Structure 1
Amino acid sequence: MRGVLYLFIATLLAAMGWIASKVVVQSMAGEMFIASRFILASLILVPFCYKSLLKLSAKQVLSACGVGVFLGLALQVWIYAVSISDGLSEGAFIMSLAMIIAPLTAWLLFQVKPNRAFWIALPVSVSGMMLMSLTNGWKMEPSQLLFLLASALLSVHFVMNKRISGNLKPLVSICLQLFVVGLVGLLYTLYTEPDAVQFSNQLLVWFVLSTVIATSVRYLLQTMGQYKVSMETAALLMILEPIWTLLLSISVLGENLEPQKLLGGGVIFLSLIIYIKLSRRYAKAELAKMELAQSA
């Protein structure tokens, strides 16, 4: 039960991160925000895992950092989409498609064929995407295309992260990856030379909330929660993030969501539930077949 509570709170904090990010990028360049936010967030996590960090081999460090690069690229695209988007909730729903895109990514990169659940959920998610994005005819907004690109990059991170998960403790891996995300942002900041930051009390408050609460604490709770519950339960809980983002963006930012986009978000949410539920059912059936074959 404690693991479920940890993940539930983590989804709320993740949604808070969307709101904080939208407020911060109005006064600070997105790449500078990503750089400072994630480097500081990783340093906050160091006291919880520094002993394990010191025991890592060079190969383990490189593998975690390499995976972190994909997360860094995904978040660079994401923060730019946030800065130009009029609606955060639709972005959150589009980003949640990373879970559906991941099996296709694994197929393309490592020839791991998706299960039947993927092929059933895919047309449902595409229908939701069309409902959400094609309100003005057959034309997607730039922010929607960027959110979709960020989701695809995030799916690469999911797939690569899973391949190294057996060799690293989750918190150690997250700490290294967050630091690399910050470095990617720092390199991009040096390349673009963004405008000066417009400091204010509001900026400081939202930056602290984003860095400490929505990043460090969120990932710490998410890691502890995923350790205590099954993968299926964790996945079901984590898809609450776009729902909380929708509610917060309406209440805090005053976002107005068109009925068609709201319906599209609901269809995407449904596709994720279908995928998770059917994947679990097919995995159990496959395990039963294997056990039956071994006993025969």
Structure 2
Amino acid sequence: MGMGKNREQIQGGAMLMLCAVIWGVAFVAQSAGMDYVGPCTFNGVRNFIACLALVPVMLFARSIRAKGVKTEKGAVRPGDNRKLLVGGGVLCGIFLCAASLLQQMGIQYTTVGKAGFLTALYIVIVPLLGIFLGKMPSLKVWAGVFLALVGTYLLSVQEGFSISSGDVLVILCAVLFSFHILLVDRVAPHVDGVKLSCIQFFVSGVISMVLAFILEKPELGSILQAWLPLLYTGLLSSGVGYTLQILGQRKASPTVASLILSLESVFAALAGWLLKGEALLPKELFGCVLVFAAVVIAQLPSWKKKRASD
């Protein structure tokens, strides 16, 4: 029994690790896409591709449910709350759209490595926002916040105490992604997760394309030139990545899952170095180490609590 559980945890960890790799490399694809189209156009097309990519996943899930798989002791799996599904999907789509656009715009003015690490700040921001939900972070979380602030300073602040516009946009993106994570946490347990994701991708795509026609005037030729970055971010980063996250989290605790997924920042830096030749200064590398340490420390209290309850 123990061996089987360990095997499942290893399988889940492997899925989440692959998801982190896909998401990390996606920062390079997002940066490359900016050579052809604007951020609104890129985000809009990417979200529509992701929405379409989840259709077969929904059909597969429906076929599984149709086989009538029984839950333990005959428990009935709760059905979708359609009102919550649609309302939650729309709100998630709005937050996802705003966060993704800020990230996409920020990548134009900062490096892939910085964008990956600064985006990972959501792991620290989420516990802070939890205070307003009545969950006071522990001292270790506050230590993680402090390390993250120092690391972000070393990573983003250049000579003359200036922060690049791209860094500010990506940090704001991390804040919005934090709200998005909390919203998904509230809605997802009560609805079909794949349907929720599909709705949010559709809403985000519509908003992005409306902004694209207002601000950028997208052209089909330019979109076709960006086909590879768009397909990667749409199919792999969103479609496959989301599916791997769902499957992996079935076999790993949420805290362990978030720790593994936070490695996307490491893979983003590695991808920027290997694929784009983006080198980080020693000061910036140390900042990356501190941010990563903050991510780990911020999650340790919950992890220990989880282990104690097992």
- Provide TM-score, normalisation by structure 1: 0.88
Equivalent-residue separation in structure 1 for 2:147 and 2:219 (angstroms) = 44
The runs of 5 or more residues in structure 2 that have no matched partner are 1-9, 66-78
Question: In the TM superposition, what is the alpha-carbon distance from 1:131 to its structure 2 partner?
Answer: 1.2
RMSD: 2.2
1:124 touches 1:267 (CA, 8 Å); kept in 2? yes
> Residue 94 of structure 1 aligns with which residue?
118
Alignment of 1:229-240 (within 5 A): 229-240=252-263
What letter matches 2:185 in structure 1? K
- Which residue of the other structure, out of 185, 190, 202, is the alignment partner of 1:162? 185
The C-alpha deviation readout for 1:229-285, integer Å capped at 9, x for no partner, is 111221121111111111111111111211111110110000111111123224556
Secondary structure, counterpart of 1:67 in structure 2: helix
Equivalent residues of 2:144, 2:298 under 8 A apart: yes
Residue 256 of structure 1 aligns with an amino acid whose one-letter code is: A
Kept in 1, the 8 Å contact 2:36–2:225? The answer is no
Q: Kindly state the Cα deviation for residue 199 of structure 1 after the two structures are TM-superposed.
A: 3.6
Superposed, 1:40-189 pairs within 5 Å as 40-50=49-59, 51=62, 57-85=82-110, 87-108=111-132, 110-189=133-212
Matched AA of 2:38: A
**Structure-2 separation of matches of 1:239 and 1:48:** 24
Give the equivalent residue in structure 2 for 1:34. Answer: 43
Q: Distance in 2 between matches of 1:68 and 1:115?
A: 31
Tell me the residue number matched to 1:246: 269
Specify the code of the residue in structure 1 equivalent to 2:150. S
- Give the CA deviation at 1:27: 0.5
Specify which of 204, 215, 221 is matched with residue 227 of structure 2: 204
**Are the equivalent residues in 2 in contact too, given 1:13–1:213 (CA < 8 A)?**
yes
Most deviating of 20-29 and 131-140 = 131-140
Return 5+ residue gaps in structure 1 as ranges. Answer: 289-296
DSSP 3-state at the match of 1:228: coil
Looking at structure 2, the residues matched to 21 and 12 of structure 1 have their Cα atoms a distance apart, in angstroms, of 14
- For 2:258, the aligned partner's letter is A
Contact 2:16 2:244 (8 Å CA) reproduced:
yes
Residues 85 and 196, structure 2, Cα contact 8 Å, conserved in 1: no
Indicate the percent of aligned positions where both proteins have the same amino acid. 22
SS, match of residue 249 in structure 1: helix
